[in-house]
Amino acid sequence: MEGVLFPKGVVERREGLKEYRSRGGYQALEKALRELSPEKLIQEINDSGLRGRGGAGFPTGKKWAFTRECAEQPHYVILNGGEDEPGSKKDRLLMENLPHLLIEGVVLTSYAIGARKAYLYINQDYAAARQSLAQALDEAKEAGFWGERILGHDVSLEISFVSAPTTYVAGEDSASLEVIEGKPALPRQKPPFPATVGLFGKPTVVNNVETLANVAPIVARGAKWYRSFGTADSPGTMIFSLGEEINKPGIYELPFGTSLEFLIENCGGGLKGEKKIKAIMPGGPSSAFLPGDRIDVPLDHNSVREAGSSIGCGVVRLVSEGTCIVEETLRIADFFAAESCGQCPACRMETNMLAMILKKVQQGEGGPPILDQFSKVISFNKGKGFCNLINMPGPPIESALRLFRSDFEYHLANGKCPET
Q: Which residues pair with 270 in a beta bridge?
A: none
Q: From CA 375, how far away is CA 66, in angstroms rounded?
A: 36
Maximal CA-CA distance, the chain? 74
> Given the complex with ligand FMN, which of 105 and 292 has the nearer CB atom?
105
CB 214 within 8 A of CB 116: no
Taking the complex as a whole, the smallest distance from the CB of residue 390 to ligand FMN amounts, in Å, to 9
Give me the least distance between CB of 313 and ligand FMN, in Å please. 7
Nearest Cα to 377, choosing from 361, 397, 360?
397
CB of 219 to ligand FMN, least distance (A): 16
Angle of the 394-403 helix axis to the 325-339 helix axis, nearest 10: 170
What is the nearest approach in angstroms of ligand FMN to the Cβ of residue 410?
32
Nearer to ligand FMN, 15 or 210 (CB): 210
Q: Are 83 and 209 in contact (CB under 8 A)?
A: yes
Distances (CA, A) of 206 to 53, 83, 106, 153: 12, 13, 11, 25
Query: Please, which residue, 47 or 139, has the CB nearer to ligand FMN?
Result: 47
We find the least distance from the C-beta atom of residue 35 to ligand FMN, in angstroms, to be 26
Between residues 175 and 361, which has the closer beta carbon with respect to ligand FMN? 175
When the beta carbons of 211 and 381 are compared against ligand FMN, the nearer one is 211
Order of strands across the sheet that contains 315-320: 250-255, 237-242, 315-320, 277-281, 290-291
Q: Is 280 in contact with 295 (CB distance < 8 Å)?
A: yes
Cβ distance to ligand FMN smaller for residue 283 or 292: 283
The footprint of ligand FMN (CB under 6 A) covers 52-56, 58, 80, 82-85, 168-169, 171-173, 206-208, 211, 387-389
The DSSP-derived string for 82-142 is ----TT--HHHHHHHH-HHHHHHHHHHHHHHHTEEEEEEEEETT-HHHHHHHHHHHHHHHH
**Residue 387 or residue 403: which is nearer to ligand FMN going by CB?**
387
Q: What is the 3-state secondary structure (H, E, C) of 155-216?
A: CCEEEEEEEECCCHHHHCHHHHHHHHCCCCCCCCCCCCCCCCCCHHHCCEEEEEHHHHHCHH
Chain centroid to CA 33: 29
Shortest Å, Cβ 321 to ligand FMN:
31
> 54 or 292: whose CB is closer to ligand FMN?
54
Considering the complex, what minimum distance in angstroms separates the CB of residue 20 from ligand FMN? 22
Query: What is the nearest approach in angstroms of ligand FMN to the Cβ of residue 48?
Result: 14
SS (H, E, C) 71-88: CCCCEEEEEEECCCCCCC
